[in-house]
């Protein structure tokens, strides 16, 4: 196998990280549920439960 063929094969095998992310629906599902859960729901709920109770 010549040097140039080797290079070509290596290039074909490399899948960029972003493409790996975008091709994995379950990883995307994890991100799409976790991020709003943390920033919107959990953060929001924490703020509400720390409101002092009126006496």
Partner 1 sequence: MATNEQYRICQSTGLRVYKSAENLIKANAVVAVVFLAIGGLFGLMVALTRWKAVHLLPADWFYLVLTAHGINVLIVWIIFFEMAVLYFASAVLLGCRLATPRWAWAGFVLMLIGAIMTNVAVLQGDSSVMFTSYVPLKAAPSFYLGIILFAVGALVGCFVFFGTLVLAKQERTYEGSVPLVTFGATVAAIIAVFTIASGAIILIPTFLWSFGYISHIDTLMYRTIWWGLGHSSQQINVAAHISIWYLISAVVLGAKPLSEKVSRGAFLLYILFLQLASAHHLLVDPGISSEWKVFNTSYAIYLAVLGSMIHGLTVPGQIEAAQRKKGFNNGLFEWLRKAPWGNPAFSGMFISLILFGFLGGISGVVMGVEQINLIIHNTIYVPGHFHATVVAGTTLAFMAVTYLLVPLIFQRELVLPGWAKVQPYVFGIGVAGISLFMMGAGTLGVPRRHWDISQADAILPYDFPGAANLMMGLNGLSALLAGVGGIMFVVVVVGSILFGKKIESSSEVAKTDPAAEVATKYGSEEHPSVPGTLVLVAVFFISFVLYYYVNWKYLAEIWPLR
Could you list the residues that contact partner 1 (CB under 8 A)? 18-19, 21-23, 25-26, 28-29, 31-33, 35-37, 39-41, 43-45, 47-48, 51
Closer of 9 and 41 to partner 1 (Cβ): 41
**Cβ 2 to partner 1 shortest distance, Å:** 26
Contact status, residue 34 vs residue 27, Cβ threshold 8 Å: no
**Cβ 5 to partner 1 shortest distance, Å:** 22
What residues have CB less than 8 Å from 27, skipping those under 6 apart? 21
Runs of H (alpha helix) within 1-55:
3-13, 17-22, 25-36, 43-49
């Amino acid at each position: 196998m010549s040097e140039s063929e080797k290079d070509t094969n290596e290039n074909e095998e490399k899948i960029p990280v972003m493409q790996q992310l975008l091709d994995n629906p379950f990883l995307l599902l994890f991100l799409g549920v976790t991020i709003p859960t943390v920033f919107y729901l959990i953060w929001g709920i924490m703020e509400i439960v720390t409101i002092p109770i009126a006496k």
